[in-house]
Each structure stands twice: as C-alpha cells, then as structure tokens.
C-alpha cells in the first residue's frame, strides 16, 4: 500500500488548490475510467505546459508551486513534474518526485554555453502508483517539440514507464542517466538550489 504522504498536499505540491482541483475535474469529464484519467493527466502536463528554461521566472520558492506552473503554462522539468504530481494527488493517485543527473547529448549550443555543460543536475520527473506499481513519468518535452527536433516522445499508456530514451529517432545519442538522487514527497528545495549553485555557478 502506498504511503499516505504521497497523497498529501505540500507547500510546493499544492494539490488542494482550487485551480489544480478544477483541472482534474475538467480532465475527468474527458475520460471513462481511472486508467484513462492517469493517461490524460500525463498528456496534459506533457503537451499543454510548454517546456521552457527561464530561471528569471523563479525568483522565489513560491514560483515552483504546482498551481503557479499551471497558471503560467510553461516550465522546465522540475516545475512540470511538480505539477504532474499535484494533479495526480488531486485525482487520488499516490505520486512523488524523482531526481537524477542526466546528460542531454542533443542540448542546443546556447544552452550548453549558458550552463557550462550538457549535464542536467537534479533533473526532475514524476512517479505515479497504479495497481500497486510505481511508474516513472517524464513530462518535460511536449510532443510538438519532440517532433521538431527528432526526440522520442515520452508516452504513457498506464502500464509502462515513460522516460527519456538513450537514442533519438535518428539513432543519435540522446539521454544518458548518470546518477540517481532518489524519490521525494515534496520538492527538496534547498538541495536543488545547492546543486545548482555547485554545478552552474559562474554561468549566467
């Protein structure tokens, strides 16, 4: 049985906010069963919340709240995953955050220059519990962006993981997972900030 902490609202995963609850209600009207709802929630965050790295949007911890990302309509891997977890919890699905360090071999040159590396430290994704099994779900890149850049689309069918692949659709190196940082019931904000300062300091 999943721990109740993975169903409980938190300061960042504000699954009890009116906007989050309303979005789940809206998505329920488009589904016929629980499995379909789990897929619809994932597809919504993946495709309707656009992937965008813009750290100027995150001047305070509150900017990482799920409800803020929902209202903003964009975010990078961590805010999108926080939103996904919040929507799942609001829908009654135990869910949690998972973090890892990854290499993105297809990172654009301007982003590599900005970060000083093609390693994404503290990459965030989500996990959801269905039928007593935890599934890993990566909602970062929307389908449109994937098709534009020949990235494999992370697709969730309710019974398999949806994570980055090692090769893109042209067979070129894409994502390598370097190290696992574990699962969390809420955003470990201080750990995240410390990692960013350690690895990205000196890069605007």
pLDDT in tens, 3-27: 789 999 999 999 999 999 999 999 9
Mean pLDDT of 138-161: 97
In a domain, 143, yes or no: yes
In a domain, 17, yes or no: yes
Q: Which tens digits make up the pLDDT trace of 156-190? A: 999 999 999 999 999 999 999 999 999 999 999 99
Mean pLDDT of 89-103: 98
In a domain, 26, yes or no: yes
Surface-to-core class of residue 38, CB atoms within 10 Å of its CB (0-12 exposed, 13-18 middle, 19+ buried)? buried
Helix (H) or strand (E) holding 182: strand 175-184
Name the residue range of residue 133's domain: 7-200
pLDDT at residue 204, rounded to an integer: 39
pLDDT at residue 84, rounded to an integer: 98
Looking at the structure of the chain, the number of domains it has is 1
In a domain, 63, yes or no: yes
In a domain, 158, yes or no: yes
In a domain, 130, yes or no: yes
In a domain, 1, yes or no: no
In a 3-state reduction of DSSP, which class is residue 113?
helix
What residues have CB less than 8 Å from 134, skipping those under 6 apart? Answer: 127, 128
Task: Outline where 1-126 has alpha helix (H).
Answer: 18-28, 34-48, 66-72, 77-90, 109-115
Decide if 61 contacts 138 (C-beta within 8 A). no
Helix (H) or strand (E) holding 196: helix 189-200
pLDDT at residue 167, rounded to an integer: 98
Core vs surface per residue 41-79: b (16+ CB within 10 A) or e: bbbbbbbebebeeeeebeeeeeebbbbbbbebebbbbbb
At 33, which CATH number?
3.10.620
In a domain, 2, yes or no: no
Residue 30 CA to residue 44 CA, distance in Å, equals 12
Neighbours of 181 (CB within 10 A): 18
% of the chain beyond a pLDDT of 90: 88
Mean pLDDT of 31-59: 94
pLDDT tier at 31 (50, 70, 90 boundaries)?
A: confident
Average pLDDT, the chain: 94
């Amino acid at each position: 049985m999943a721990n109740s902490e993975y169903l409980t609202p938190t300061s960042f995963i504000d699954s009890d906010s009116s906007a989050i609850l309303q979005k789940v209600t809206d998505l329920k009207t488009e589904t016929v069963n629980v499995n379909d709802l789990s897929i619809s929630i994932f597809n919504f965050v993946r495709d309707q919340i656009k992937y965008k790295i813009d750290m100027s949007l995150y001047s305070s911890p509150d900017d990482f709240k799920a409800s803020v990302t929902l209202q903003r309509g964009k975010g990078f891997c961590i805010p999108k995953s926080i939103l996904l977890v919040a929507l799942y919890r609001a829908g009654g699905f135990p869910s949690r955050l998972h973090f890892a360090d990854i290499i993105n071999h297809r990172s654009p040159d301007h982003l590599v220059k900005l970060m000083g590396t093609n390693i994404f430290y503290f990459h965030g994704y989500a996990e959801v519990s269905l039928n007593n099994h935890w599934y890993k779900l990566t909602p970062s890149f929307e389908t449109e962006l994937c098709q534009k850049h020949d990235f494999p689309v992370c697709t969730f069918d309710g019974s398999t993981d949806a994570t980055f692949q090692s090769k893109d659709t042209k067979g070129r190196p894409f994502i390598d997972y370097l190290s696992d940082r574990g699962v969390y019931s809420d955003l470990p904000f201080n750990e995240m900030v410390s990692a960013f300062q350690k690895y990205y300091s000196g890069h605007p």
